[in-house]
């Protein structure tokens, strides 16, 4: 096994590779590690489009000193023995997909942090990979996520990878999400309302043509149809707002108290925009937003975990990758 986590060529074919790319994570739940991670993330022009002369001093002199310690404490609350939840679950998911595709290399990379997309692609090139499929673990396309991965892919010479732009209505993925909700209901009973919470995005980007919001809506419609839900059974909301400009609405954290005041006692909440559990699901939703709901008079907010390395998830991603390899 190489330093970048790439399986040795004596166990898999050397000419084809599948790269699962996730957003990224700090290396440790410490202020320094969080600061390094957030600096790389928030200096990406796809994430923050402000002029560098204006944004860099604000980021490094104000935002990072204020946020790094606070965010590190949040990471510490959900940190796992093998690293951050996003890192652990992404590694496990790549291993599960590898089991389903033994004739190709299946590896993982991070857009921010380690192992970096560029590092993994360069090692694949040196190892003789002739065909590479890059599968960003973002079911819904956005210029802030998938397009940023594509930016890095295009900077690696000597490779011409196929980048899968989205899989927001893929039947296998839709069934996997729906089945995870059914399993939750079978074990816990069905709550009064099902909330689909997606990571937010500035409204400005959607107004400029980013398809993310439309694809989130399409994902919810497909999952709801698979579950046989009525319109009044569920809601779509957006979380993780950052900054003062208008973001996609309705906001998860503002919607939950309204539901509690309207008499909704129990909420089931699922985050199908996230392939694996991470800070935004385990801390923001399952801890922080659950408290917001209870403080407003609700009884219980029950978080439905991401698909992580569930067999149905690995099956769906392997099928998506196979289609990309043959198209």
pLDDT at 12: 38
Handedness of CA 137, 65, 28, 44 (dihedral sign): positive
pLDDT digits (tens, 9 = 90+) for 89-135: 999 999 999 999 999 999 999 999 999 999 999 999 999 998 999 99
pLDDT digits (tens, 9 = 90+) for 205-230: 999 999 999 999 999 999 999 999 99
Q: Give, in degrees to the nearest 5, the angle at Cα 263 between 260 and 268.
A: 60
User: Binding residue per annotation — 280?
Assistant: yes
For the chain, the three-class secondary structure string (H helix, E strand, C coil) is CCCCCCCCCCCCCCCEEEEEEEEECCCCCCHHHHHHHHHHHHCCCCCCCCCHHHHHHHHHHHHHHHHHHHHHHHHHHHCECCECHHHHHHHHHHHHHHHHCCCCEEEEEEEECCCEHHHHHHHHHHCCCCEEEEEECCCCCCCCCHHHHHHHHHCCCCCCCEECCCCCCCHHHHHHHHHHHHHHHHHHCCCCEEEEEEECCEHHHHHCCCCHHHHHHHHHHHHHHHHCCCHHHEEEEEECCCCCCCECCCEHHHHHHHHHHCCCCEEEEECCCCCCCCHHHHHHHHHHHHHHHHHCCCCEEEEECCCCCCHHHHHHHHHHHHHHHHC
pLDDT at 30: 98
pLDDT at 327: 81
Neighbouring C-beta atoms of residue 296, cutoff 10 Å? 14
pLDDT at 242: 87
pLDDT digits (tens, 9 = 90+) for 39-70: 999 999 999 999 999 999 999 999 999 999 99
Distance between CA atoms of residues 322 and 81, nearest Å? 33
pLDDT at 9: 37
Distance between CA atoms of residues 80 and 301, nearest Å? 23
pLDDT at 178: 99
Query: 171-304 maps to which CATH number?
Result: 3.40.50.1400
pLDDT at 172: 98
pLDDT at 210: 98
pLDDT digits (tens, 9 = 90+) for 163-218: 999 999 999 999 999 999 999 999 999 999 999 999 999 999 999 999 999 999 99
Contact between 327 and 164 under an 8 Å Cβ cutoff? The reply is no
pLDDT at 296: 98
pLDDT digits (tens, 9 = 90+) for 84-99: 999 999 999 999 999 9
Closest CA to 38 of 20, 4, 7, 62: 62
pLDDT digits (tens, 9 = 90+) for 244-294: 899 999 999 999 999 999 999 999 999 999 999 999 999 999 999 999 999
pLDDT at 244: 86
As given in the structure block, the two tokens for residue 91 are 């590694």
pLDDT at 171: 98
Handedness of CA 157, 141, 198, 184 (dihedral sign): negative
């Amino acid at each position: 096994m190489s330093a970048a986590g790439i399986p040795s060529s004596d166990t898999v074919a050397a000419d084809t590779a599948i790269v699962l790319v996730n957003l990224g994570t700090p290396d440790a739940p410490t202020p320094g590690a969080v600061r390094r991670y957030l600096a790389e993330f928030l200096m990406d022009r796809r994430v923050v489009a402000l002029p560098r002369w204006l944004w860099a001093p604000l980021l490094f002199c104000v935002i990072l000193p204020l946020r790094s310690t606070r965010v590190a404490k949040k990471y510490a609350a959900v940190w796992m023995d093998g690293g951050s939840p996003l890192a652990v679950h992404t590694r496990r998911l790549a291993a599960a997909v590898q089991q389903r595709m033994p004739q190709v290399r299946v590896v993982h990379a991070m857009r921010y942090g380690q192992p970096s997309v560029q590092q993994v692609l360069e090692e694949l090139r040196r190892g003789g990979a002739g065909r590479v499929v890059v599968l960003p673990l973002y079911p819904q396309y956005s210029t802030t996520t998938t397009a940023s991965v594509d930016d890095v892919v295009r900077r690696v010479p000597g490779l011409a990878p196929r980048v899968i732009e989205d899989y927001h209505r893929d039947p296998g993925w839709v069934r996997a999400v729906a089945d995870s909700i059914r399993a939750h209901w079978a074990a816990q009973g069905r709550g009064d309302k099902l909330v689909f919470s997606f990571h937010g995005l500035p409204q400005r980007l959607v107004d400029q043509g980013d398809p993310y919001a439309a694809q989130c809506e399409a994902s919810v419609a497909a999952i709801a149809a698979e579950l046989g839900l009525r319109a009044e059974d569920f809601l779509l909301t957006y979380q993780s707002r950052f900054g003062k400009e208008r973001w996609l609405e309705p906001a998860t954290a503002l919607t939950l108290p309204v539901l509690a005041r309207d008499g909704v006692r129990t909420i089931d909440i699922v985050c199908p925009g996230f392939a694996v559990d991470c800070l935004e699901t385990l801390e923001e939703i399952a801890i922080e937003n659950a408290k917001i709901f209870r403080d407003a008079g609700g009884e219980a907010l029950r978080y439905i975990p991401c698909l992580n390395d569930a067999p149905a998830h690995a099956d769906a991603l392997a099928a998506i990758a196979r289609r990309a390899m043959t198209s």
